[in-house]
Chains A and B, each alone.
Chain A
């Protein structure tokens, strides 16, 4: 079956702009989580959605937001981009949440200039 698909793979944006990243989970998976990975901070949890509801949120400013659609596809949005937002953004899907392993997408590499 198809894996987790993240688009786009690479993105270059200018400070102050906004960006939307997309994630299509494995068919049948209802939980989608987002992580930010940077060399300095490692893998940081952003938020998790299950059946269109945000169940958990990490310690990120309100500029970071997300949503999940009825087909479980998820988007995350970052507004007013800052240089420090440059990172690899990873999406992971799971059928039943943290009691089982997560399947990750290849990520979106965001560079803010």
Chain B
């Protein structure tokens, strides 16, 4: 069964706007990872935030982590058409040697 759940399931915004996706998870984690998947392709690792971090930036991406609420958010600023994809969060537990994915958010960028 999946651990993380993304919200919303689908999001459509205008090019240039910011997109925010949320992820909730159930048990304790070592880290929280975000991935992007273009239609029918493999996943691309975007960013990893560790359980002792609260915020992390990478280019136009900003990730926050609230371990007290067991939630994370991914913000994509100044969206572009190329950002159209599905976005997944995944929680990593080093002891379990696996990462568990949420159901994903489908992001569509309108020109």
Contacts and interface: CB of A to CB of B under 8 A. Distances in A.
Contacts, number: 69
Interface stretch (A13-21, A64-72, A77-85, A102-110): A102-110
Most chain A beta-carbon contacts within 10 A, residue among B31, B45, B99, B102: B99
A112 interface: no
Instruction: Tell me what chain A mostly uses at the interface: helix, strand, loop, or mixed.
Output: strand
Contacts of A4: 42
B92 A98 contact: yes
A98 B94 contact: yes
Interface in B80-111: 88, 92-94, 96-104
Interface in B31-62: 31, 33, 35, 40-45, 48
A99 B42 contact: no
B31 A103 contact: no
A107 B41 contact: yes
Q: Interface range on chain A: under 10, 10 to 19, 20 to 34, or 35 or more? A: 20 to 34
B30 interface: yes
Interface residues of B, number: 26
A42 B93 CA distance: 20
B43 A98 contact: no
12 contacts: A33-B98, A35-B101, A42-B101, A42-B104, A45-B98, A45-B101, A55-B97, A99-B94, A101-B45, A102-B45, A103-B45, A107-B40
A106 B101 contact: no
B2 interface: yes
Given A4-B42, A88-B40, A104-B42, A31 B101 contact: no
A35 B30 CA distance: 20
A44 B3 CA distance: 10
A45 B97 CA distance: 11
